[in-house]
Structure 1
């Protein structure tokens, strides 16, 4: 299957928006076609150091979307942007199509290869051990939607509902937030570490694993997964080492598989910067009320809220 790729820097595909920069707006794209409909993209840079990546790959039969929210440096998100989809394509070819098992294999292979890179690079670049990335992936193939997630980026579906002969929209969350601010996630992490009373600590106004990080799943963050890296004298000179007997984070994604239905109108894939400012319901209302001018509308949202990145896929009904 031949895939056509658009990836950061996406101005190669769409062009940088005129006048962007002072307000953080990097670029946006009006509606473009994909296998199942249209998609639109808008990105705002909220930090001085851009650590995030995103990509859309399309073919005549399938569409792939990735949102990679990096932290601790750009190395992990850039690595995921380069390697995750090729692994998905490789394993899907070997196993006769896309499946939850194929997606897990691709995530695990990406994690393993990045860990190897960290070990090879540690002497020259010890800070790479603290680079990590949340990963949100969506794939549409044969009217089946796959959503895989690590971290606290989020996929939300806008579903049409007929009320009193008038169509409205409801929000349906399709991904799990792996963030210890969520009580269920916090209890999950604590249950996995019953002998560590400080596995989750409330500090600097939020809950954090070992007082360091809010998300419980990622690609990278090798120093929180590999005790030997954490104990390495080279890394200890760079970082703030903590006692680590076993991994406190995991690269295992949560996966949802859903048959697309006629009432499914659109999908929103966004990093946590959007969801810290908008509820699921507010986001789908914005898209629903501006169905053919969504880029301009969402650029306004970008300007106001400075979220990191947003991708939309529209399910065509024509």
Structure 2
């Protein structure tokens, strides 16, 4: 390959690498990066941008040398690193990188909303995975003996369930029945029994229980909803306030909608929609994907054979989308 042609290839590679580096820098400067990755990942992306800059400069250096007649493409790996002489193959190869780069610059950055939530499926029970882990850790109940007692001996009394039994922690539990909505701090341990999987949520639930209005804050969004879901029976009748976008499904009643947010672990690829089912007489006046802050009273209902939180809305205020529209796990929770 002629040196000038090789220099042209190096220049194209340098421009593509530089384009990606500039695009990342643009997203970081405008905070658009938070529409694609979790905040804790931004440092790694910034480092990748720096690496792209360095490699781009090296490719540009090779291009300048090639234009000057110095190619030096040989190495000891017994492979030819010279670019293909086929224009079609080169166009397709470079196009694989140029096309997504152009899409990034030309298309507007937008938040995920109802259309993606409908495809992924809205989760209205944020405590489901915690309950599943807790249930899996519970020992199997001993089989009854022929004499009608437990396996430990004929006629013996049934063993009492452990205080951390998931049934007690679940929203449909009847455990700690002596605790009511008017319970005091002295019996909060009975109101919120826990095991090793639910202890952090039980401790947090005790704090939420003492509040007149439970705020679902940005930095504890999933943790708050999970704590309330785990001990839903205890929170029925309490006030709750949260902010999110309006989401609807075809099977919902005219007075129902979901106040939803996307939860992200690492990046937008693993985003999962979570929300609270709300009932409001003027629900039809709220446009889908519009952002609202709702305040209402917690109640309970059945949805797909699960007990879920339903918010009887008393107040709706239009809200601006959050600077970081997604919510993230709080890794300091319970520490």
> Normalized against structure 2, the TM-score is what?
0.22
More helix by share: 2
> Normalized against structure 1, the TM-score is what?
0.23
